Structure 1
Amino acid sequence: MLLVRPVFRDEIITGKALGGLLALATLVFAGLAVSLGILLVDGIVPDTDALVSILLFALATVAFLAFYFSLALTISTVVPRTGKAFLCALVTFFIFTALVPTAGAVAKDVVVGGSPLPGTSPDERGDYQTRLDLLNSVVTAFSPQWNYELVAKSALEPRLTAYQFLEGHITHLPYDGTAHPTDALARFWQNALVLFTAPFVLFGIAYLAFQRMDVR
């Protein structure tokens, strides 16, 4: 096909990326549109904040799916053979989904230590919480699932103030009706930044690698 209608090399990789992203976005928004339609049929009309939460959740979901799509695109571009690329993709998927959370749990016991016992001084409790928060932030940033879950929950629950994956602890603000969908995202803007920029970074790597390939 490329011989019949030659195109620039960057158009090939960009077209693949845009096509995949468009397909993912279409699936996500179509599913949410159907769900919203069912709510309207049942007489449930979401307010403005609810619609904003749904939109933010949809964008976070597209970004999460785009991460793995960009990762697969990068691996298929960097690794020359299909079999090796598939194997590398499986290994990378295992690292992100299983190894990183497991390493975080092990690091919690080794680096942070056990939970403070009753009677521990406030300073020691503060040091423990500081180390735990730092480790939780690092592991969450390197775990796409945890990062997506945090951003998605913050979009759907504006009162969310803390989400400790390593201890399963969630903290909310008191319910007073003043929280808005963007409030929690503002608290976790670093995670949202990682979630939305990671696909672009991976695409940049794939783009540069494809530009240097010897296409025959």
Structure 2
Amino acid sequence: MGIFRCMIVAQKEFVDHLTSKRFFVIMALFLIILIIGMYQGLGEYNENLAAYQEKMTAVESGTLTGWTPDKPSILSVFSAISDQVVIIGAVLAIAIGFDLVSKEKETKTLKTLLSHPIYRDEVINGKAIGGSAAILLAIGVVLLVSLAMLLIVGILPTIDEFSAILTFGVVSVLFLLVYFTLALTLSTLAPDSGSALIATLVVFIILSSLLPIAGEITIDTWAGEQPEAPFVQTFIMSGDGALISTGEERDPQEEKEVMMKYEAEAEAYYEKKMTVTAIVEAASPQTNYKKIIGAIVDPYHVAVKENSPSGPFTVMVTDPDTAPPHFMDVLAGIWGNIVLLLALPGVLFLTAYLCFMRIDVR
């Protein structure tokens, strides 16, 4: 493969994307919704910050004791941006990739292109690089607009927050590459652009909407019915204000044995539920993406949730004296989701590559 010829193809595809009305319209819509979301998110952040300062004043003055409020983070604004990336960003990635090969088939230019002194792998690699560069540019513009709005309202991110924002951008690019490579693969397999677009949108809808619903049904079916607590004890208030139990008196030893059996059944139920949930999450790029973004923008609560045991008696306890973990440490704990998000674009591109190398251009 010649790097020079590959980059010529990539440059052509990149310029075609930037001059495309389709790319411009979707990107403009993306930025408009982004600006509106940033405006609303910054307003909510300022309200939370004012409430935090008011509570801290009460704590320092001694009028409020036994509790320390959580300081709001500007990274919470990027959680809302990730919701837009999941939908509009994915549509943009699909729009970039769905006709990269199928358009060449329809216009009969693929045969002409391959008749030149250029290899097939240079063509498919160049198209992939050009599309990926367009996605990288789109996310770069999103981050620049977001940072500009933060600076306009007088918010200067710290070094850690800035590194988290950059990591947010990298993860968002990886997520969009999933749908770009999916569209590229189906563009290689489909006979025309219309079929490629429909097939890609169908897969997108399945992964983003139907899979979570089917996953919930599968989880409930596989895990079975949730065990019920063996004893339900209620209390009523007597006329003199005393609480009186309405339950029957039970043998303490018998009650202990029944409760131990219930706890074992409940633990097995929640383990089954967690196993199926992990499998369903692995099949959903959206779920992986949102989980990783959650670890970036809110590492403390994600770490608490990940380290808390599951079960009917789970109580998540936060220690106000414990320093919040760095988001990179929390990301290390969900490495499986990161590997899946990294591997899926590679697998899809390999599929597109092999199909393109075997395509019949007669």
Residue 54 (structure 1) aligned to one of 138, 143, 165? 165
Q: Tell me if structure 1 keeps the 8 A contact 2:292–2:337.
A: yes
Q: Tell me if structure 1 keeps the 8 A contact 2:114–2:120.
A: no
Show the counterpart of 1:187: 333
Secondary structure class of the residue paired with 1:117? coil
User: Higher RCO, 1 or 2 (CA under 8 Å, sep at least 6)?
Assistant: 1
1:58-101 Cα offsets, whole Å, 9 max, x none, are 11111111101100000110223333323322322222122211
Can you give the 5+ residue segments of structure 2 that lack an aligned partner in the other structure? 1-111, 231-258, 307-315
Runs of 4+ in 1 over 4 A off after TM superposition: 171-175
How many angstroms does 1:185 deviate by?
1.0
Label 1:177 to 1:44 Cα distance change in 2 as closer, same or farther (>3 A): farther
Secondary structure class of the residue paired with 2:113? coil
Q: Tell me if structure 2 keeps the 8 A contact 1:29–1:58.
A: yes
Show the counterpart of 1:166: none
Q: Tell me if structure 2 keeps the 8 A contact 1:10–1:207.
A: yes
Show the counterpart of 1:81: 192
- Amino acid across the alignment from 1:177: A
Secondary structure class of the residue paired with 1:110? helix
Which structure has the greater CA radius of gyration? 2
How many angstroms does 1:3 deviate by?
6.8
2:212 aligned with 1:101: yes
For the residues of structure 2 that align with 1:172 and 1:33, how far apart are their CA atoms? Answer: 37
Show the counterpart of 1:25: 136
Q: Tell me if structure 2 keeps the 8 A contact 1:52–1:181.
A: no
For the residues of structure 2 that align with 1:31 and 1:210, how far apart are their CA atoms? Answer: 32
Show the counterpart of 1:112: 223
Can you give the 5+ residue segments of structure 1 that lack an aligned partner in the other structure? 164-170
Show the counterpart of 1:150: 291
Q: CA RMSD in A?
A: 2.3
TM-score (norm 1): 0.87
2:358 aligned with 1:212: yes
Show the counterpart of 1:177: 323
Percent same amino acid among aligned pairs?
38
How many angstroms does 1:147 deviate by?
1.4
Residue 141 (structure 1) aligned to one of 257, 282, 306? 282
TM-score (norm 2): 0.54
Q: Tell me if structure 2 keeps the 8 A contact 1:64–1:144.
A: yes
Residue 71 (structure 1) aligned to one of 182, 193, 203? 182
- Amino acid across the alignment from 1:21: S
Q: Tell me if structure 2 keeps the 8 A contact 1:157–1:184.
A: no
Label 1:3 to 1:202 Cα distance change in 2 as closer, same or farther (>3 A): closer
How many angstroms does 1:172 deviate by?
8.3
Q: How many residues are treated as equivalent by the alignment?
A: 210
For the residues of structure 2 that align with 1:155 and 1:84, how far apart are their CA atoms? Answer: 37
1:46-65 Cα offsets, whole Å, 9 max, x none, are 11221221122111111111
